[in-house]
Structure 1
Amino acid sequence: MADPLQLGFTDYEQIYAKKRTRRQRFLDEMEATVPWEAFLALIEPVYHKPSSKGGRPPIPLEVMLRIHLLQQWFTLSDPLMEEMLIDTPCFRRFAGIETMDGRIPDETTILNFRHLLEEHRIAEQILEGVNQMLSERGVMLREGTILDATIINAPSSTKNKAKERDPDMHSVAKGKQWFFGMRCHIGVDAASGLVHSVESTAANVHELNTAAERLHGDERLIYGDAGHIGIEKRNDFQDCEAEFRIAMKPGQRRVLPETPEGRLLDLIETAKAH
């Protein structure tokens, strides 16, 4: 047990509080059930070793693995993951970071580790293993999937060594605003809120183009925002027996009639959005 004299008030309160939050209970269960040794063995051959020339040692591999899993479970961007490690005691404890003596990895370190796993196709193996474990323990029920996507901005400037933009990134208009970067498409378990599939594309790739890859095939219900309108007409879903619950376009909701039927339909659409 950590020395209370070396803890801030928030850390002390989190450790000694009688009531544990749902997030803490989930992390406690993951601590006990994730096959840490197996995952570490997958990554260790490609993880960088300490330099013989000195300098700052790399962040321990297990710390980076734990941070990567936190990022996947709670759908956090690289900058937000860094902020959560700074602000959230239970995240720091799960990651194994001692705030007084250790370093909190910055967003670039978190990004580079994620790219390392993607480059060697280790991220897919870890996600598949964790999802299987969660399903077996009843945490992920696999009866419903929420489809969603978000745009991740990338530098649009050409003032760099290559004198050009990243060729894998593209521009896209959303509403009246233009973005340059990539689009992260996810499939989320409707019961637990945990991500079970991830697809990354250039920002101009439509959400419907990756919808089939974000489903595991056992869904009874498929939820999506207005960007997924027309999904049931796609060839990939002609034989799909799941029920689609796709949100109405915002413009259509705004013109719903002020009648009992119109108000009921607006409540249904609000429930879909939630």
Structure 2
Amino acid sequence: MAQLGLGLDLSTKRTRKREFLEEMRCVVPWSKLIALIEPHYPKGKTGRPPFPIATMLQIHFMQQWFGLSDPAMEEALYDMPLYREFAGLDGGMTRLPDESTILRFRHLLEAHGLAVQMFALVNEILIDRGLMLKAGSVVDATLISAPTSAKNTSGERDPEMHQTQKGRSWYFGMKAHIGVDAQSGLVHTVVGTAANMADINEAQSLLHGEETDVYADAGYQGIHKRCDEDSARWHVAMRPSRRKQLDLNDRLDAIFDQIERLKAGIRAKVEHPFRVLKQQFRYTKTRYRGLAKNTAQITTLFALGNLWMARKQLLKA
């Protein structure tokens, strides 16, 4: 005996994923990003016509938001009507992009350095909206693990990655160094290096040059020796071992402790983009081989993260 259908309209339920995609559809500057890609996109004068740039860009961004590989993205397009709807593939399309098409689009972005250009374009829009100021910056870095397995065609780990020790634990992978606006917490600079690169070595490259004050944790101790006299003022945290020795009953030590609390409150802004990267977008391990490819992906993720963190102000506008 055939079972009776419930007659549910599954397209009306506002799931969290649907709400997220609707918000990002509104805040991402699609037309300006498409204009960046269009000069480099194949025209398809012979053979099968290429998919629209908008469709491939939306698929590429869904990969970043949901942590999908190229094959997983292809399968998700077949399995999830919501993804096809977001990419404009739900009506009139006779085929879907396969994993090779998705891969070639990503290689196109990497070959022409478009991730950096898209990041700069997003930040220009945020600056024009008054959401990113230039008076102060916060700098920091986070470790991104890389696969340690040597079960691949070359039989070795990624030669551009490196291992480093943090605390009592060892990590293999890369570092994402960022410069963040001290007021809004939005990322204005991204640099990718091997994991063994000291934070202080990339400190100067994380500044946009118009800061008056820069805040950093204790890993940047000694940065004053590398700066010019007319450069921005650096406010570096006291080493934890030194801070533990402060006697809060002593008036001078109590003032030092209060200053450290104030600096820590400003430095906390740099943790918000890292939270979006690792918790919201679930990016905890590198997907590709080589620093260039992974840095391009991280740059794209931080651009999308800026839009996500500023979405309420952008939606109001």
Name the TM-score class by shorter chain.
0.5 to 0.7
- Report the AA paired with residue 159 of structure 1: K
Secondary structure of the corresponding residue to residue 179 of structure 2 = strand
- Map of 1:71 onto structure 2: none
Q: TM-score, normalised by structure 2?
A: 0.59
In 2, Cα distance between the equivalents of 1:114 and 1:188? 26
Does residue 11 of structure 2 align to residue 6 of structure 1? yes
Does residue 199 of structure 2 align to residue 199 of structure 1? no
In 1, Cα distance between the equivalents of 2:167 and 2:173? 16
Equivalent pair of 2:215/2:236 in contact (CA under 8 Å): yes
- Map of 2:254 onto structure 1: 263
In 2, Cα distance between the equivalents of 1:266 and 1:188? 24
Secondary structure of the corresponding residue to residue 147 of structure 1 = strand
Q: How does 1:200-239 map to 2 (within 5 A)?
A: 200-234=192-226, 237-239=227-229
- Map of 1:170 onto structure 2: 162
Q: CA deviation at 1:5?
A: 6.4
In 2, Cα distance between the equivalents of 1:209 and 1:248? 19
- Map of 2:282 onto structure 1: none
* Cα deviation digits, residues 205-250 of structure 1 (max 9, x gap): 111221121111000110111111111211xx21443221111122
Change (3 A) 1:66 1:190: farther
- Report the AA paired with residue 118 of structure 2: I
Secondary structure of the corresponding residue to residue 238 of structure 1 = coil
Which of 18, 28, 38 in structure 1 is aligned with 2:32?
Answer: 38
Change (3 A) 1:216 1:201: same
Change (3 A) 1:207 1:8: same
Equivalent pair of 1:256/1:263 in contact (CA under 8 Å): yes
Change (3 A) 1:118 1:220: farther
Equivalent pair of 1:64/1:113 in contact (CA under 8 Å): no
Equivalent pair of 1:156/1:180 in contact (CA under 8 Å): yes
Q: CA deviation at 1:149?
A: 0.4
Does residue 58 of structure 2 align to residue 63 of structure 1? yes
In 2, Cα distance between the equivalents of 1:124 and 1:253? 39
Change (3 A) 1:174 1:186: same
Q: CA deviation at 1:113?
A: 7.2
Secondary structure of the corresponding residue to residue 61 of structure 1 = helix
- Map of 2:233 onto structure 1: 243
Structure with the larger RCO, 1 or 2 (CA within 8 Å, 6+ apart): 2
* Cα deviation digits, residues 114-163 of structure 1 (max 9, x gap): 77534421112122222222222211111111101011000122222211
Equivalent pair of 1:135/1:142 in contact (CA under 8 Å): no
Change (3 A) 1:30 1:11: closer
Does residue 138 of structure 2 align to residue 143 of structure 1? no
Secondary structure of the corresponding residue to residue 83 of structure 2 = coil
In 1, Cα distance between the equivalents of 2:9 and 2:208? 46
Does residue 83 of structure 2 align to residue 102 of structure 1? yes
Identity within the alignment, %: 40
Change (3 A) 1:157 1:10: closer
Does residue 173 of structure 2 align to residue 181 of structure 1? yes
- Report the AA paired with residue 6 of structure 1: S
In 2, Cα distance between the equivalents of 1:7 and 1:266? 54
* Cα deviation digits, residues 82-128 of structure 1 (max 9, x gap): 27xxxxxxxxxxxxxxx7532699xx999997775344211121222
**How many positions carry a matched residue from both structures?**
226
Q: CA deviation at 1:29?
A: 7.9
Equivalent pair of 1:144/1:189 in contact (CA under 8 Å): yes
In 1, Cα distance between the equivalents of 2:253 and 2:120? 43
- Map of 2:315 onto structure 1: none
Change (3 A) 1:138 1:214: same
Secondary structure of the corresponding residue to residue 172 of structure 2 = strand
Change (3 A) 1:5 1:165: closer
Equivalent pair of 1:172/1:180 in contact (CA under 8 Å): yes
- Report the AA paired with residue 272 of structure 1: K
Superposition RMSD on alpha carbons, in Å? Answer: 4.0
- Map of 2:263 onto structure 1: 272
- Report the AA paired with residue 150 of structure 1: T
Q: CA deviation at 1:60?
A: 2.5
Equivalent pair of 2:248/2:257 in contact (CA under 8 Å): no
